[in-house]
Amino acid sequence: MNLSMLTPPALSLYVHIPWCVQKCPYCDFNSHALKAEIPEEEYISALLEDLDTDIDKYRLNDVPRPLHSIFIGGGTPSLISAKGIERLLKGIEARIPFKPDIEITMEANPGTIEAERFVGYRKAGVTRISIGVQSFEQEKLERLG
């Protein structure tokens, strides 16, 4: 008997939001300075369509494996509206079931933190925020760009 089939491996999902207010000179990530309004609706639709093309890879013996965690990184995901994040998360859950205690983390930069927006993210299902603080010292921040 193969015991690995009794407990399927945990399944996690990374979602990339590539836009930032500006491209930091030290950043190696696939991110782009915002030059216009984010094509939020189109991008979320494209992400969900991409998930549809790969959905069978996440099944085990034709049974969907539940997601244990989602990490929304970037870029600066907190540039996406709470409504957009809600649409994204509902779309993912419609395709892959969530564990009841799923952890959903979203990155944010200090310049994009607004209390009202984060209330919306929480209502959408985000359970954890990762704040990208490079330094608390103004002089160091200026040197970083």
pLDDT 10s digits, 35-55? 888 899 999 999 999 999 988
**Residues spanned by the domain of 47:** 9-144
Q: How confident is the model at residue 87 (pLDDT cuts 50, 70, 90)?
A: very high
Phi and psi at 35, nearest 5°, equal: -105, -15
In-domain check, residue 57: yes
In-domain check, residue 83: yes
First to last CA, the chain: 57
Give dist(CA 40, CA 88) in Å, integer. Answer: 10
Q: Which pTM value belongs to this model?
A: 0.84
In-domain check, residue 4: no
In-domain check, residue 77: yes
In-domain check, residue 61: yes
In-domain check, residue 1: no
In-domain check, residue 3: no
CATH of the domain at 91: 3.40.50
pLDDT 10s digits, 99-129? 999 999 999 987 777 888 899 999 999 999 9
The encoded tokens of residue 125 equal 């299902």
Domain count, the chain: 1
Residue 120's SS3 state is helix
Residue 3 confidence (pLDDT)? 54
Mean pLDDT rounded to a whole number for the chain: 84
